[in-house]
């Protein structure tokens, strides 16, 4: 099946009008997701900048494979572009790890200053040796805890609780530092795991909590906002290197320009999602963040022991001082 998908991608590219170059963009999100809407904006901008000579065709809902499978297709040049969480990119480029450090960003302005500036560009380029070039960061909000039976009002409430985590060393460490038990479970299996008590809770942003319908299995949502891990629009360097300088320019500009509307889509989606889960009876808790920050500060100190990552961490921290 996997070979058939690869061959289909290659053959379909050969059948297109030679005057229009088409690049396929695949991802696993639904078409009503704010990040998908950002990618639609990106595709429209590429088409306009190229006067219709360069087209980005989007395949949503995991049509061309899972997140990891899409990355594999990028690495062999059979797929042009995909969207992944920055946490997934940790496996390819260590610099992405720093974006998952709890509370490394003091506020949204600090976070956006990093994403949109030279620091962000350096991180985006750090995966090129693995044939993965980042184009831009999309807002994926902040991740917070949701639980089925016990409310989380301070970090110590997580003690011995089984919390689902994504495939990220930093995410595992964060739960452990708070006294919880990290349990890696695939996103598609999480609804059932919450329903059956395999885990006591999970953590994600408001739109994901809502659109996944995980609120149907949970009672509490604690807005502790422990991490702000962005999504990353990634292009295969094999595909990138085949483009003309003009085509590279159009794609690069379109990606950066699509960030602003995507953030607006995200903000609207967050507000809508929180309203819906509250209406459904979920208790949304606004905790004092002090205990969560104190419980996880050792993670930042541990990262600072890494001589390769220390300069990058210091740049991110200093970016907040510049913003203020």
pTM: 0.86
Which residues fall within 8 angstroms of residue 299, CB to CB, at 6 or more apart?
A: 101, 102, 170, 173, 174, 177
Q: How far, in Å, CA of 274 to CA of 262, rounded? A: 18
pLDDT over threshold 60, residue 5: no
Average pLDDT score over the chain: 92
Tens digit of each residue's pLDDT (9 = 90 or more) over 213-225: 999 999 999 999 9
Quick one: what percent of the chain has pLDDT higher than 70?
A: 93
Q: What pLDDT, on a 0 to 100 scale, did the predictor assign at position 9? A: 52
pLDDT over threshold 50, residue 70: yes
For the chain, the helix, strand and coil percentages under 3-state DSSP, each to the nearest 5: 50, 20, 30
pLDDT over threshold 90, residue 158: yes
Q: What pLDDT, on a 0 to 100 scale, did the predictor assign at position 15? A: 44
pLDDT over threshold 80, residue 55: yes
Band of residue 147 on the pLDDT scale cut at 50, 70, 90:
very high
Least confident span in 89-93, 121-125, 240-244: 89-93
Tens digit of each residue's pLDDT (9 = 90 or more) over 244-300: 999 999 999 999 999 999 999 999 999 999 999 999 999 999 999 999 999 999 999
Band of residue 3 on the pLDDT scale cut at 50, 70, 90:
very low
Query: Which CATH entry fits the domain spanning 2-139+229-271: 3.40.190.170, 3.10.129.10, 3.40.50.300, 3.40.50.80?
Result: 3.40.190.170
Q: What pLDDT, on a 0 to 100 scale, did the predictor assign at position 92? A: 86
256-259: long-range pairs with CB below 8 Å, 24+:
256/135, 256/136, 257/45, 258/38, 258/39, 258/41, 258/42, 258/45, 258/136, 259/38, 259/115, 259/116, 259/136, 259/137, 259/138, 259/139
Q: What pLDDT, on a 0 to 100 scale, did the predictor assign at position 187? A: 82
Least confident span in 32-41, 167-176, 291-300: 167-176
pLDDT over threshold 60, residue 227: yes
- Give, for 261, the enclosing helix (H) or strand (E): helix 245-279
Q: What pLDDT, on a 0 to 100 scale, did the predictor assign at position 323? A: 55
Mean pLDDT of 9-27: 70
Q: What pLDDT, on a 0 to 100 scale, did the predictor assign at position 322? A: 60
Quick one: what percent of the chain has pLDDT higher than 90?
A: 82
pLDDT over threshold 60, residue 181: yes
Task: Give the angle subtended at the CA of 257 by the CAs of 136 and 18, to the nearest 5°.
Answer: 85
- Give, for 150, the enclosing helix (H) or strand (E): none
pLDDT over threshold 70, residue 23: yes
Q: What pLDDT, on a 0 to 100 scale, did the predictor assign at position 155? A: 97
Q: What is the CA radius of gyration of the chain?
A: 20
Residue among 8, 168, 208, 14 at smallest CA distance from 86:
168
Q: What pLDDT, on a 0 to 100 scale, did the predictor assign at position 321? A: 61
Task: Give the angle subtended at the CA of 73 by the CAs of 55 and 26, to the nearest 5°.
Answer: 45
For the chain, the domains span: 2-139+229-271
Mean pLDDT of 91-113: 92
Q: What pLDDT, on a 0 to 100 scale, did the predictor assign at position 18? A: 57
Name the one residue in this structure whose structure tokens are 């980005």: 56
């Amino acid at each position: 099946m996997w070979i058939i998908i690869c061959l289909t991608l290659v053959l379909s590219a050969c059948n297109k009008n030679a005057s229009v170059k088409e690049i396929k963009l695949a991802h696993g999100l639904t078409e009503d997701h704010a990040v998908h809407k950002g990618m639609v904006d990106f595709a429209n901008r590429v088409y306009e900048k190229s006067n219709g000579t360069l087209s980005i065709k989007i395949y949503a809902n995991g049509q061309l494979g899972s997140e990891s499978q899409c990355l594999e297709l990028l690495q062999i040049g059979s797929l042009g572009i995909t969207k992944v969480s920055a946490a997934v990119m940790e496996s390819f480029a260590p610099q992405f790890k720093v974006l998952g450090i709890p509370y490394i960003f003091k506020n949204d302005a600090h976070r956006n200053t990093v994403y949109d500036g030279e620091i962000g560009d350096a991180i985006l380029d750090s995966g090129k040796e693995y044939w993965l070039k980042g184009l831009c960061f999309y807002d994926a909000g902040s991740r917070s805890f949701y639980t089925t039976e016990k409310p989380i009002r301070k970090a110590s409430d997580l003690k011995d609780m089984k919390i689902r985590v994504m495939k990220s060393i930093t995410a595992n460490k964060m739960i452990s530092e708070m006294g919880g038990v990290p349990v890696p479970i695939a996103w598609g299996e999480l609804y059932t795991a919450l329903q059956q008590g395999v885990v006591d809770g999970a953590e994600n942003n408001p739109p994901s909590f809502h659109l996944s319908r995980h609120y149907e299995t949970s009672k509490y949502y604690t807005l502790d906002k422990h991490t702000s891990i962005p999504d990353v629009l990634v292009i295969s360097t094999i595909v990138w290197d085949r483009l003309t300088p003009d085509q590279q320019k159009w794609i690069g500009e379109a990606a950066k320009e699509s960030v602003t509307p995507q953030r607006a889509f995200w903000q609207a989606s967050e507000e809508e999602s929180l309203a819906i889960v509250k209406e459904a009876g979920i208790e949304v808790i606004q905790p004092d963040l002090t205990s969560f920050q104190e419980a996880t500060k050792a993670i930042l100190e541990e990262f600072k022991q890494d001589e390769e990552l220390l300069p990058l961490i210091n740049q991110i921290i200093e970016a907040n001082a510049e913003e203020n």
